[in-house]
Structure formats: C-alpha cells, structure tokens
Amino acid sequence: MDDGIAAFEARRFADARALLEPCAATDPRAALYSGRAFLAEEDIDRAVASLEKAAILDPKSAEAQVWLGRAYGQKALRASVLAQASMAGKVRRAFERAVELDPDNLDARIALVEYYTRAPGIMGGSAAKAREQAAQIRRRDPLRGHQAYGRIAEHEKRWDDAVAEYNQAASEFPGRREPFVWRAGLASRRKDYAGAFEILESLLRARPDDATVCFSIGHLGAQTGERLDRAEECLKLYLQHTPGKDEPALAAAHFELGAVYDRKGNRDLARSEYRQALALEPSMQAAREALSKR
C-alpha cells in the first residue's frame, strides 16, 4: 500500500496501479488511489468502477466521494445527451455527500459551486446555492473564497468582477501561485491567449524554480497553437524535472509536447512523444488516440 501510494504521488500511475489493484477489492485506500490513477490516465470507466468500490468500502470517506464525483463528471462529458442527464445527478449527489461527511472539504464545495452554476435548474443548478457554497468557502479559506466568487462571476459573464476577485486574492496573498493561474485561465477561456501567456510568464519570472508554471505555458501553447517554440522549450524543461505530489506526470508532458509537434507539422517527433507517454502510462487514452491518427 505505502509503495503504491508513493508511486502515485510521484506521478507513476502505471506502477501505482500494479501495486494497488491486488488490494483494491477489499481496501478502500487502494481502491481510491487506483481510481485516481485510472482517472489521471483518462481510463474513465475503470476509474468510476474503482472509485465506486472505494465509496462502498468506506462510506464515511468524503475524499472518495469527491473523486467519484469528478470521475462521474468526466464520464458525463463523454456521454450522449440523454446519458448526461442521468450522470449529472450522480455528480451532484457525490459532491453533496462529500460536504455532508466533511463540511470543511473545500474541494467538494468548489466542485458544487461549479455544478450549481453550470447545471440547468431541472438538474439541480442554482445561483443561490452556488453563492451559499462560496460564502461557506470564504469563511473557511479567504483565498479559495476569491476563487469561488470569481468562478461564479465568470459563469455569469461578469468578467471585470472575476478579474477583481483574482486580483484581490493576489493582493491579499502575495507569493501564492493560484491567483495568477486563475487569471490566466480566465484569459484563455476568453481567447485572450496573449494575455494568458503574459500572466504565466510574469508568474514564472516571480517563481523561476516552479516547474509547474513551465508545464502550464507548454499546455497553453499545445492547446491554442500559439507561441509553439516557447511551449516546446517549457515542456522540455519540465521533462528534466521530477514531479512531486499534485504536479503533472512526465507522461502528460510528453503528450503535450507531442501536441506541440503536431501543431508544428512534425509528425515524426509527435509520434515519438506519444509513444514515450504510453511507455510511461500504457493506459493513457489521449496518447493512444493521438498515436492512432498519425
């Protein structure tokens, strides 16, 4: 168990599953981390099955409910319109159950803010409920309170209010990465890619040893097709880094670099990067699909 969880925290998801899956039928922690590994590899059906098992084995685990809600959400994104309606209820109930089990679980509350603002009323969406969650978050953690109110403002297309929340967070919590990441995400979602790059570059200048910012710049380039040389440079720098807990896996960096090469029209280098991603994480569906098209 300890070796498996250590492999997971080191972002070696295939190794983690190999160690944890033999225990996952009876041990809730093994089922939880196996499910999280499957989710990281985008093997959504197996992630759902493993996380459902974790929730059954430990019905008092708020963490299992949070991750189960996330897995249901990913499955809903890939489902038909009719199936999405059924999955939406599962998503909401998992996050609400997590908050019932642990009122201080801010990940669950942030997830509910997202759900209540996105879902139509017939599926349980509610602007009032989203604001209730944001208020509870702000009471417990002012930084994440800014995140919650900023996301509500984004969904309501109150762009200036969202930027104001993130800027206030940066002012109140100097040195924290999150407000810059939120502002960059907003700029990217509004297709202000130049602005998003500049925010991330300023963050990197302030935190030159933060490899995750390099990854974010590379990911932005891979997704938008902008500043591809800089994206390539940053992803190569990230690949010299040993990821820690909650940092992107090296397989993800290889995949993003493959996407950059695809954007550049270099299919040979793209295939090489996708193969390296699969060598590290054989269940990575996105890399397998990308390679099948080359």
Residue 193 covered by a domain: yes
| For residue 285, pLDDT beyond 90 | no
Distance CA 45, CA 83 (A): 14
pLDDT in tens, 227-279: 999 999 999 999 999 998 889 999 999 999 999 999 999 999 999 999 999 99
pLDDT score, position 84: 81
pLDDT in tens, 80-101: 877 888 899 999 999 999 999 9
152, 182 contact by CB (below 8 A): no
Across 2-6, 9-13, 103-107, the highest mean pLDDT is recorded for 103-107
Residue 61 covered by a domain: no
| For residue 294, pLDDT beyond 80 | no
Range of the structural domain that residue 259 is part of: 175-294
Q: How confident is the model at residue 122 (pLDDT cuts 50, 70, 90)?
A: confident
Question: Which residue would you say has higher pLDDT here, 62 or 84?
Answer: 62
pLDDT score, position 246: 87
**Total tally of structural domains belonging to the chain:** 1
CATH of the domain at 292: 1.25.40.10
Distance CA 69, CA 39 (A): 11
Question: Which residue would you say has higher pLDDT here, 282 or 161?
Answer: 161
Residue 251 covered by a domain: yes
Q: How confident is the model at residue 226 (pLDDT cuts 50, 70, 90)?
A: very high
Residue 283 covered by a domain: yes
Distance CA 149, CA 190 (A): 18
197, 227 contact by CB (below 8 A): yes
pLDDT score, position 293: 84
Residue 130 covered by a domain: no
Distance CA 188, CA 81 (A): 26
Residue 43 covered by a domain: no
pLDDT score, position 81: 76
Residue 218 covered by a domain: yes
Residue 208 covered by a domain: yes
Average of per-residue pLDDT values in the chain: 95
**Which pTM value belongs to this model?**
0.88
